Structure 1
Amino acid sequence: MSIKYIKGKKVYLRPYETEKDKEMLYRATFIEESNLFTGTTKPFTRKKIEQYVDKVMAGDDTRIDFVIVRHEDDEPVGEVVLNEISNRNANIRIALFDTQYFNKGYGTEAMQLMLNFGFGNLQLHRIELGVYNHNERGIHVYKKLGFKKEGVLRDYLFYNHRYYDLILMSILEDEYRELYLNGRFTKQK
């Protein structure tokens, strides 16, 4: 049984901890739709993934990585990461590891839990992200969570013979707290 570090209703977040996590992340690199959403253009070997997870598990003051796990069966479904943590600012990124986990609310809840952790526990002031313009579902979720569009990096990603814009978005601590305290998000248990 995994340690449920941050608990939500559908999912919980926990640190990377097992060989199964490495295998799950390696398999995820072959999901074309996920790669398009994350902008992943290079193939990864098992060894590179293992080195990455080992580095994450060793710890780094500039990032916090969590595996997203379903409550119902303790199945890992993705990861959510706060990285580039510096001067009360951070970048956030999320990936679900298989299309079967899309549109079930796992990503939305994981993002909300991580925002709560970032603004509440880490006392961050600003959290930013980049999302590609073709990821309409992601853009919708980020707006629902309170992120505001800051700008666009045109033709930022070249993927499979096409260019995609990168939309920059952020949320500030007072914007998040207003949503949180007004009951837009459920409080953690």
Structure 2
Amino acid sequence: MRPSKRDLILAAAVRVIAADGIEGLSFETLADAAGLSKSGIIYHFPSRHDLLLGVHTHLATLWERELEDIAGAPAAELTPTGRLRAVVTSMGRTADLPELLMILDSRHHPEFREAWAGVDKRWMPEPDSTDAYLVQLIAYGLWAHDHVHHAPLDARARERLIAAALERIPS
């Protein structure tokens, strides 16, 4: 199945953000990256706000699909342990820069936050489940590590840390 123009635009937007940050994303840079006219972009995303909301929603949807692929089922069909195992496995990888930038950007606008909140609500433990929440915080640390630390984790260290986090998931 051929991707829709909207999906092509969103994929191009992610590439622009990876190369130039959110500030580098404009209708002009996006039109060049997507191989479309500026008016073609505006047809699908009439404002920069609509475009950014589209990118947030697109990335959150991709992440939820990844979680479902890892877990083998949607969140509603899994135990809390099964959901947290998928989260740790997913977040054990290094964050893609566009994901990280968009997550940080989502803190500044309620609609952007909402794009991610549904995934969090379906997959993440509540803070009052202390042991499970600590494991989630370990996963966040693994995910962001290479962007905030002076030396990236090597593959063996990352695998050991993921395994250690998985062992700490309460049953």
TM above 0.5, yes or no, is: no
Q: Which has the higher contact order (CA 8 A, sep 6+)?
A: 2
The normalised TM-score by structure 2 is 0.29
Larger CA Rg, structure 1 vs 2: 2
The normalised TM-score by structure 1 is 0.27
